Amino acid sequence: MSTTYRDALRDGLREALQRDARVFLMGEDVGRYGGTYAVSKGLLDEFGPERIRDTPLSELAFVGMGVGAALGGMRPIVEVMTVNFSLLALDQIVNGAALLRHMSGGQFSVPLVIRMATGAGRQLAAQHSHSFEGWYAHIPGLRILTPATVEDARGMLWPALQDPDPVLLFEHAQLFNMTGEASDGTGVDIRSAKVRRAGDDITLVTYGGSLWKTLEAAEQLAEEGIEAEVLDLRVLRPLDTETLLASVRRTRRAVVVDEGWRSGSLAAEVMARIVEEAFYDLDAPLARVCSEEVPIPYPKHLEDAALPQPEKIVAAARGVLGR
């Protein structure tokens, strides 16, 4: 069934609320307003204020409440309006939720799901537009998911709620109006990367909002006779190194596309793993396409120039292939 990314997220929320009485949603404006991106619209009327909870404007407080509720046996879904604001709750996420299983010697788990919008392209300027998924992927104890398709938007939430440890879902804000085929609600794999386009000449590795730009670049390359394989990482922690290496060993060339900044990026980690484990399978040096090393600008032409775009990906692939 065709639906939008936004509606698929809502269907996933509704299904989780129906299947498990321990599940509840909380965050800023998730109830009466229906969510900043209208993802939770209508759920307050359907499930009531005990399970769709509007919170004060304090990420530190309500993420901490989610950690406590998870420790107490509930299955909270916490919505943070945008990834930039999640930095206000870093102590709760990084020093709390991610560490409690280890620090308790396995006595406690934190089955918490945190959803947040990420990414640029909407002219919302620097404080609402960055991509910090790679930061969180650095932290042991967290699972990091980046649904880039309607199917994953619908199907990742329920398996995430079954994880005994914290799961962070990064939903790229440029995708909310995208349409596609939804899953049947039985859940999708939250452990593995997925090949979105098969090819033999080069592997284009990406995730999240950059997937569709990368697929567009692959189509442009196909017009030149270059068949690019597009690998959607989907899970940034733990990385599915096996699928990544299998693709790169087959094509023998790779470009990594990452909306994060180049310095200290997830792209750098992906490239390091390829070099560590598949260096002698490569026929050319690796390349990457990242955001420019600036806060995301507000003007549209500057924002576009700062972000990975299909033409940049095509140029990087040509360079690796010596074209």
**The 228-232 sheet, strands edge to edge:** 194-197, 228-232, 202-206, 254-261, 287-291
What's the CA gap between 18 and 28, in Å, rounded?
A: 22
Does an H or E element contain 97, and which? none
Distance CA 29, CA 317 (A): 43
As a whole number of angstroms, the distance between CA 5 and CA 116 comes to: 14
Please give the single-letter amino acid code of residue 170. Answer: F
Report the C-alpha dihedral over residues 247, 180, 168, 299, rounded to 10 degrees. Answer: 100
Residue 45 dihedral angles phi and psi, to the nearest 5°: -65, -35
63-to-34, 114, 276 alpha-carbon distances in Å: 19, 8, 37
**The one catalytic residue among 59, 151, 171, 269:** 59
Of 15, 28, 79, 128, which residue is the catalytic one? 128
Q: Which amino acid is at 266?
A: L
- Tell me the sheet residues that pair with 168: 114, 144
φ and ψ of 298, to 5 deg: -85, -45
Question: What does the block give as tokens for 9?
Answer: 């997220």
Catalytic annotation present for 59: yes
Specify whether 102 is catalytic: no
Kindly report whether the peptide bond that precedes residue 56 is cis, defined as omega within 30 degrees of 0: no
The side-by-side arrangement of strands in the sheet containing 23-27 is 52-54, 23-27, 75-80, 113-118, 167-172, 143-145, 235-237
Active site (catalytic) residues? 59, 128
